[in-house]
Chain A
Amino acid sequence: MKSRDLENTLAIFKREFLSYFNSPVLYVIVVIYLLASMGFTFFFGRILDSDNASLTQPFFFWHPWIYIVLAPAVGMRMWSEEHRLGTFELLMTMPLSPWQAIIGKFIAAALVWFISIALTFPVVITICWLGNPDPGPIMTGYAASFLYALGCLAVTSAASAFTRSQVVCFIVSVALCLLLTLIGYPGIVDTVARTLPASLESIVRFVSYLSFLDHFYEMTKGIFVFRDVLYFLSVIVVALLVTHLGLRAKRA
């Protein structure tokens, strides 16, 4: 029984992963991602002018904003396309559980992002060549960056379960990811905390604690806290549960 679960998940994963490379969309997104993540680093981050051999500020700082747009662009076809083509009906009448399909698809999208993130290695080479960076923050920064992408992907998976339109899925996912990011944006949190009565401040702080950004910056500073990893993992679990609910609702 166990091995069958794995085989089904693997079959879904394989099909999904290969289909990413059959569509021009993926190549466009990866190129934009690489241009944006490295371009920001060299132009806005001014990595070459600073005398600080660290990637936290110039490189990882931009990642959340890039993922908010690009992760939904990769993930929007996950279930929407399945609904639009009607293959969802085919898939759900085959001998596999919805979970195997949900996880197989999610891992395929995750691997796409893993590869894209790995392709930013020239930045690491540059910084090592220029200075003598502390490897700790670079490693936790990459972990945080990958987890951020996964969080946005999971949110996209949930949105795509509910709609057959990739455009609707994209817009809803970007909005949700933006919301989950902005509730932790220091400037906004401080302003809101100041305008509201002091008694509500703890609530504002709590809400901001639920944001992606809060946990992301903690990690990029080189502090690998289990709590932050757990946070992203629970976001993923919750979003995949919502995906499951959405798919069940589609089957009336």
Chain B
Amino acid sequence: MIQVQNLRKVFGSKVAVDDVSFSVEKGQVLGFLGPNGAGKSTSMRMVTGYFRPTSGSIKVGGIDMLEDPELAKRSIGYLPENAPLYSDMTVASFLGFCAEIRGLRGAAKSKAIDRVLELCFLENVRNQSVDTLSKGYRHRTCFAQSIIHDPEVLILDEPTDGLDPNQKHEVRGLIKRMGETKAIIFSTHILEEVEAACSRAIIIDRGKIVADGTPDQLKKLVPGAHSLDEVFRSITRPDTVK
């Protein structure tokens, strides 16, 4: 479903993403790992068509993102990093707006809204203004927006950021379940999540892929390591090191 080849993004003189290639098929959940500033969000922004890559190619559902962005974007659901929302809307009206842009109207639209409100446990804030929601609820509202059209491809930038342990558990379960029928990419800093939900994981460091494999394969990369955590620390360098 997602084919990314030799993706590169340069900001001024800074190389944020350097020659990244990967592909994700239906039924796969790909975890994106890497230290702060590694280029995870930048890669996702290119895959979703927000940033234009400096070079490289992106295909989503067989459609080239650079040639026909509008068509390619239809099959994607995206949760941006800071879960942006229109602060002057209620949860339901925000989801209604997103559904309309996704081409849902009338009964289909209200059904879609009800479905995601239930999936993301938002029913009791349905008519609350987005502005007054707590951080976790805001995050879930934006997550709800990403699955409102039941997309084939889901791209989630830190979907469990700011959620309480119960909700983290729910969202991981949801990602795992949806992963059976969709192609999903999600980024995270919580390594247990990778083991809990991913079929494959990529570790990015300074724009380059430094490891790629199933969670079990990654654990065997470093001799003597017992957890992903140790592997992560030994193959990536802290952001502060030059």
Contact = CB atoms under 8 A, between A and B. Distances in A.
A90 B70 contact: no
Nearest to B105: A7
A22 B88 contact: yes
Contacts of B89: 15, 19, 22
Nearest to A22: B88
B48 to A, nearest CB: 4
B101 A8 contact: yes
A132 interface: no
A87 B11 contact: no
B49 A87 contact: no
A130 interface: no
Given A19-B89, A23-B88, A251-B50, A89 B80 contact: yes
A90 B49 contact: no
A96 B70 contact: yes
A97 interface: yes
B87 interface: yes
A85 B85 contact: yes
Interface in B89-128: 89, 97-98, 100-103
Contact of A86 (B71, B82, B101, B102): B82
18 contacts: A4-B103, A7-B103, A8-B101, A11-B101, A15-B89, A19-B88, A23-B88, A87-B86, A88-B84, A89-B45, A90-B142, A90-B145, A93-B49, A93-B80, A94-B98, A96-B101, A251-B50, A251-B51
Given A14-B97, A15-B97, A19-B88, 15 more contacts: A8-B101, A11-B101, A15-B89, A22-B88, A85-B85, A86-B82, A86-B84, A89-B80, A89-B84, A93-B76, A94-B101, A94-B102, A95-B74, A95-B102, A252-B51
A15 B86 contact: yes
Contacts of A252: 11, 51-52
A95 B73 contact: yes
Contacts of A85: 84-87
Interface of B: 11, 45, 48-52, 70-71, 73-74, 76, 78, 80, 82, 84-89, 97-98, 100-103, 142, 145
Contacts of A19: 86, 88-89
A92 interface: yes
A233 B44 CA distance: 39
Contacts of B78: 90, 93
A95 B51 contact: no
A92 B100 contact: no
Which of B71, B76, B88, B98 has the most A CB atoms < 10 Å from its CB?
A: B88
A87 B85 contact: yes
A contacts with B: majority SS: helix
Chain A interface size, under 10 / 10 to 19 / 20 to 34 / 35 or more: 20 to 34
Interface string A32-76: 000000000000000000000000000000000000000000000
Contacts of A7: 100, 103
Closest 4 CB pairs of A and B: A86-B84, A11-B100, A95-B73, A93-B48
Interface string A129-146: 000000000000000000
A93 B151 CA distance: 13
Contacts of B82: 86
Contacts of A23: 88
Contact of B50 (A8, A14, A89, A96): A89
Nearest to B130: A85
Interface in A162-203: none
A7 B142 CA distance: 22
Contact of A92 (B50, B74, B88, B98): B50
Nearest to A11: B100
A251 B86 contact: no
A145 B41 CA distance: 46
Nearest to A96: B101
A33 to B, nearest CB: 21
Contact of A97 (B70, B74, B85): B70
A252 B101 CA distance: 24
Contacts of A96: 70, 101
B85 A251 contact: no
B102 A90 contact: no
Nearest to A89: B80
A92 B51 CA distance: 9
